[in-house]
Amino acid sequence: MTFQAPKGTFDWMPPRSELALSVREQMSAPLRLAGYRYVETPAFEDTALFARGVGESTDIVSKEMYTFEDKGGRSITLRPEGTAAVVRAVLQHGLHHGPLPVKVWYSGSFYRYERAQKGRYRHFSQVGAEALGVEDPALDAEMIQLAAEAFASLGLTGVELLLNSLGCAACRPAYRSALQDFLRGLDLDDATRARVEINPLRVLDDKRPEVRAQLAEAPLVSDHLCEACKGYHEEVRSLLRTAGVAFTDDPRLVRGLDYYTRTTFEYVYEGIGAQTAVGGGGRYDGLSEMIGGPPLPGVGWALGVDRTVLALETEGLVEANTPRAGVEVYAVPLGDEARRVLFDLVLELRGAGVSADLAFGGKGVKGAMKGADRSGAAYALILGERDIAAGAAQVKHLASGEQTAVPLAEIVTMFKEKLVK
């Protein structure tokens, strides 16, 4: 029997895996410069964490979670998103008792039982960031700017930022009531009608054409914002303009999770498959209380690594963002004694910061040189019995074919000077 990756998943393999790793690193670089520290949470949590935090009316909780009972009889769920778990960890370890805001970032795998297709996977990767403990429009603007900087650092030009406000506990009830009155008059299926009563904003996030066609005249949350929310949102917009971050106001933008309040945003990219969103987030001032914690306002985002890779491929930016493959020096031993000498030299080269590999398996010169070509190395380091007797190795520049003898004692210094910046 030959095994394959489960449906809706895929393997990251070189060189595409190197691109994905580079994307993660470039997404996190602006965060580290802004004082965000790395955290890592378990791949699974108590099911109740997501049921409370994400919301039982969401598709994620009602349809898409991988939930099972462990051997202790506990209901466990593979994490479908990162924010609830990060907030749980911050509360559990008391980070909110220290300096505020608590600024953290994470990177990892997440799991949803989606309808598998290009751009929508059941196992996917994200880089995320959260800032907890402060309600400040400048913090929202910083968060949005950091994501924009991450996409810009990759060279992407087709990413569009959509921006909206979902209001707060003071003004959202009136909007909720107006929206419910409108939705109750539509031709909706029973499941969607039930959602109207539980969380009507989720209906606005429905992607089915037959539902979206009926939402054209739905009331807008922007028409129901209180003065405090209007002022807060306008300050976020003003700060983004000052920072040079382009955005499009989208009064119909909602996010697929129940915990969002006020600022909400999404980064979209057309033409990469079933989903256009390559990232998004917003403010979630009530999430901590939802999962049993104290009041702890927060704002955050998650950027999709998989979809960003698709965007890079669409714009022809793969080569520009993929680290150089292979090693710089490929050592070719001709005989047992040469293998012993080169084994030590390869370790010394690596210790000096030079990437190096060795032709393993006792290959002849022809086979070993083919290995050198496949490795992507710039130089081959060839050593035979005569070279050992002469105390020198042959250094061949593979692109030009130029070959010179270099004393063994000078090999590491020479390559360090040539290759280590």
Which residue ranges are tagged as binding site for L-histidine? Answer: 81-83, 112, 126, 130, 255, 259-260
Q: What residues form the annotated binding site?
A: 81-83, 112, 126, 130, 255, 259-260
Report the C-alpha gap between 315 and 310 in whole angstroms. Answer: 9
Report the C-alpha gap between 410 and 395 in whole angstroms. Answer: 11
Partners of 357 in beta bridges: 330
